[in-house]
Amino acid sequence: MGDLPADLRALIGGERDLVANCANTAALLWHRLPRLNWVGFYFLCDGELVLGPFQGKPACTRIALGRGVCGTAALRQTTIIVPDVSQFPGHIACDQASRSECVIPLLASGRLIGVLDLDSPDLARFDAETVKVAEAIATIVADGSLLR
Ligand code: SME
């Protein structure tokens, strides 16, 4: 996986546009993290999560806070790791191939602006090292970006 946080910082450079940075981040993670079938962002808009830049199959557009893994991570403002999505009550199956999932809240100055969602076709894909890197990535994106 290499030094993904360092590579993302270099990729973002001085760019402050959230959508542009999330688009490049999704592409970077897609090409560098093996065994993913979906990776991307949802942004908090008017009290619900709305689909942002991603890689993978088309996904559900809107997720209410508290719904699914994404809405739960957003509501609790904490990372959620689901080793087996079939065991997560209310999991939203956008892609039937997903077997495990990790969702990380994007916090800008302590304020929730969205989530980073990673899905894998393998059970228990998201080990501690991968989650740590993904959290560092989410911090870089949230800290360095301004909403439109
Ligand atoms: N599985 C997610 C929905 C988003 S897709 O995985 C892209 C959830 O339960 O919130």
Stretch 33-50: mean pLDDT:
97
Global pTM reads: 0.96
Tell me the pLDDT band of 145, cut-offs 50, 70 and 90.
confident
Of ligand 1's atoms, which has the minimum distance to the CA of residue 70? 10
**Residues 138, 136: Cα–Cα separation, whole Å:** 5
Structural domain boundaries of the chain?
4-145
Is ligand 1 within 6 A of the CB of residue 69?
yes
Of ligand 1's atoms, which has the minimum distance to the CA of residue 94? 5
Pairing outcome for strands 100-108 and 38-45? unpaired
Is ligand 1 within 6 A of the CB of residue 119?
yes
Work out the mean pLDDT of the chain and round it to a whole number.
95
Q: Which two tokens stand for residue 17?
A: 């546009």
Sequence-separated (6 or more) residues with CB below 8 Å from residue 100? 82, 83, 84, 85, 119, 120, 122, 123, 124, 125, 126
**Residues 48, 1: Cα–Cα separation, whole Å:** 32
State percent of the chain over pLDDT 70: 98
**pLDDT tens for each residue of 9-29:** 999 998 999 999 999 999 999
| Distance from residue 103's CA to the centre of ligand 1 (Å) | 9
What fold does the segment set 4-145 form as a domain?
Beta-Lactamase (3.30.450)
Is ligand 1 within 6 A of the CB of residue 38?
yes
**Residues 1, 60: Cα–Cα separation, whole Å:** 28
Is ligand 1 within 6 A of the CB of residue 54?
no
- Asked if residue 21 lies in contact with residue 141, where contact means CB atoms within 8 angstroms, the answer is yes
148 pLDDT above the threshold of 90: no
